[in-house]
Amino acid sequence: MSLFDSTPPHLPPEDDPTGRPLADRMRPRELSEYIGQEHILGPGKPLRAQMETGQLSSLILWGPPGSGKTTLAALIARACHADFIQFSAVLSGIKEIKTVMVDAERSRRMGRKTILFIDEIHRFNKAQQDAFLPYVERGDVVLIGATTENPSFEINSALLSRTKVYVLYALDPPQLTGLLRHALETPVRGLGHLHLSIDEDLLSEMAVASSGDARSALNTLEVAAGLATDGKIERQALADALQRKVLLYDKSGEEHFNLISALHKSVRSSDPDAALYWLARMMKAGEDRLYLARRLVRMAIEDIGLADPRAIEQAIACQQTVHFLGIPEGDQALAQLALYLALAPKSDAAYQALNHANAIIESTVAEPVPLHLRNAPTRLMKELGYSKGYKHAHKDSSAFTDMKCMPPFLLETSFYQPTDHGFEQRLKERLEWLKKRRAESELEK
């Protein structure tokens, strides 16, 4: 099959026996066989309506691996009676794009519609994506792009504005269980000719282990079927087929940021169980342990702060432990820290105080340091008034001074507003005492 075949290559022919992997053989041939994505393909839903009327516009299918993007593109082409040309963003360049577009333009003039499907469109660079624009605008092709990455970040704005983004979701366990059962019972294309049996709970475990990826689920079933004994897939066969659970995770993609966001927000929300779950998800998927340690250090500073000053101590100790022990022993330190931070009292008062100070600095003139706060190491500096009027706090029995240290225009400004949470309550009481003493000193003057 050439790169530019005009028939939907991902819809298996009717008479194809077992020459290809199970996941490929079981691709739906008709929309009625397609599982999931009812939010766009259910009766009256937008994409379903376009397929039924044949009035299709360019679109991006955004979803995780195994959610049915490639199969759906081929079904769309079949429903719209269009030529189907598939591109791989990994293998194709601008030269190939222009060659295909010439054929597509010729087909349009002859009344034929061409659907150009680009798998992993996020791998095309900006120049390659721009090369599609004139052809999409003229209607020479209907572009269908498939991506696992967020189009907002990976598709350039000019192309994105000319397409409709449809989000595809990972299949849920009941959908995958139904798919696996269908594959077991379907003859020729599936495994029905083997007459295999499997306990329902094992089928459900297989579905859960695939993390919403239909391709992964079918691949696991095919391997387990090859390990079946006496016509039955036993637990050991499933365990051997799985080896390890497949986790939806891309350390450089959106799911990476989704999971770290979930961890951070669980800690901030004082939910230790959720924090431990998201942390374990990331560790199980192979996340860099020092990255996790850095993020937990940040949480100790940003969300706990002075409500528990020991949080930063615990965080740095954890970072050192992870660096010293590595995997797997260091994982326990990360779990311990996540639990500690989730259970600690919370305050972002110090974080907000710095933000406030930065905002003032950016919006006002940089005032000179008041003379009484400057050191005077030379005779000239002393003659110019450097350090004059400075009051040394330790000369007071309570280590207090009413000396003003802010620039004059900021004397009434208060950046730090402590909360009543944890240790910060004591800091709040101390701050109130200082304010009261300064007010008394002003009255005495």
Which of the following CATH numbers is that of domain 22-167: 3.30.470.10, 3.40.50.300, 3.20.20.220, 2.50.20.10? 3.40.50.300
pLDDT of residue 257: 84
Using DSSP, state whether 229 is helix, strand or coil: strand
pLDDT at 305: 94
Distance of CA 163 to the CA centre of its chain: 22
DSSP state for residue 190 in the 8-state scheme = S
Is residue 86 classed as helix, strand or coil in its secondary structure?
Answer: strand
Question: Domain locations in the chain?
Answer: 22-167, 173-242, 254-343, 369-444
Residue 103 burial (CB < 10 Å; 0-12/13-18/19+)? Answer: middle
For 351-398, the pLDDT digits (tens) are 999 999 999 888 888 888 888 888 888 888 888 888 888 888 888 888
Closest CA to 151 of 200, 143, 203: 143
Q: What's the CA gap between 263 and 281, in Å, rounded?
A: 10
Q: Name residues whose C-beta falls within 8 Å of residue 219's C-beta, 6 or more positions apart in sequence.
A: 21, 22, 23
The beta strand positions in 148-201, using DSSP E, are 164-167, 197-198
Whether 14 shows a pLDDT value over 70: the answer reads no
Residue 16, both tokens: 């194809």
Computed over every residue of the chain, the mean pLDDT equals 85
How much of the chain is in helix, strand and coil states, percent to nearest 5? 55, 5, 40
CA 203/CA 210 separation, integer angstroms? 11
Q: How remote is the C-alpha of 293 from its chain's centroid?
A: 18
Q: How far apart are the C-alpha atoms of 428 and 141, rounded to whole Å?
A: 66
What's the confidence (pLDDT) of residue 140?
A: 78
Structure tokens at 394: 């330790």
Mean pLDDT of 39-68: 89
Whether residue 338 is predicted with pLDDT greater than 70 in this model: the reply is: yes
Question: What distance in Å separates the CA atoms of residue 15 and residue 189, rounded to the nearest whole number?
Answer: 9
Of 105 and 353, more confident:
353
> Residue 212 burial by CB count (10 A; 0-12/13-18/19+): exposed, middle or buried?
buried
Decide if 336 contacts 379 (C-beta within 8 A): no
Question: Helix, strand, or coil here: 280?
Answer: helix
The residue type found at 396 is D
Q: Going by DSSP bridges, is the β-strand pair 114-119/142-147 parallel, antiparallel, or unpaired?
A: parallel
> Which CATH code for domain 173-242?
1.10.8.60
Task: Tell me the per-residue pLDDT of 56-104, one tens digit each, with 9 for 90 and over.
Answer: 889 999 998 889 999 999 999 888 888 888 876 655 566 666 677 766 6
Q: Tell me the HSE value of 132 on the side-chain side, using a 13 A CA sphere.
A: 31
Range 254-343 classified under CATH 1.20.272.10: yes
**DSSP 3-state assignment of 101?**
helix
Q: Would you state the pLDDT for residue 248?
A: 56
How far apart (Å, rounded) are the C-alpha atoms in residues 68 and 64?
A: 9
User: Whole-angstrom Cα distance, residue 213 to residue 322?
Assistant: 32
Q: Is there a contact between 257 and 282 (Cβ–Cβ < 8 Å)?
A: no
pLDDT of residue 336 exceeding 90:
yes
The beta strand positions in 174-245, using DSSP E, are 197-198, 232-233
Q: How far apart are CA 313 and CA 350, in angstroms?
A: 16
DSSP class of 362: H
Q: Give residue for tokens 């994506």.
A: 129
Find out whether 147 and 62 touch, Cβ atoms under 8 Å. Answer: yes
Q: Phi and psi at residue 319, in whole multiples of 5°?
A: -60, -45
| Portion of the chain with pLDDT greater than 90, in percent | 37
Whether the per-residue pLDDT at 7 is higher than 80: the answer is no
Nearest to 143 by CA among 103, 101, 102: 101
What pLDDT digit, counting tens, does each position of 166-217 carry? 999 989 999 999 999 999 999 888 999 899 999 998 899 899 888 889 999 9
Least confident of 138-142, 222-226, 244-248, 378-382: 244-248
Tokens read off for 385: 């008034």
The proportion of the chain whose per-residue pLDDT surpasses 70, expressed as a percent, equals 88
Which residues make beta-bridge pairs with 116?
Answer: 85, 143
Q: pLDDT tens-digit profile of 312-325?
A: 999 999 999 998 98
Instruction: List, for residues 250-303, the tens digit of each pLDDT value.
Output: 555 677 788 899 999 999 999 999 999 999 999 988 888 999 999 999 999 999
Give the Cα-Cα-Cα angle 263, 266, 272 (nearest 5 degrees).
105
Task: Give the pLDDT confidence score for residue 320 in this predicted structure.
Answer: 94
pLDDT of residue 87: 75
Q: How confident is the model at residue 6 (pLDDT cuts 50, 70, 90)?
A: very low
Question: How far is Cα 391 from Cα 84, in angstroms, rounded to an integer?
Answer: 82
What is the structure's pLDDT at 214?
92
Does residue 249 have a pLDDT over 60? no
Give dist(CA 322, CA 44) in Å, integer.
Answer: 53
For the cut 50, the answer to whether the pLDDT of residue 3 exceeds it is: no
The torsion of the CA quartet 286, 290, 296, 302, rounded to 10 degrees, works out to -130
Q: What pLDDT score was predicted for residue 97? A: 67
The alpha helices in 59-156, defined as continuous H runs, are 69-79, 94-109, 126-130, 133-138, 151-154
Model pTM score: 0.62
In 269-418, which ranges are continuous DSSP H helix?
Answer: 272-284, 289-299, 310-325, 329-343, 349-363, 379-383
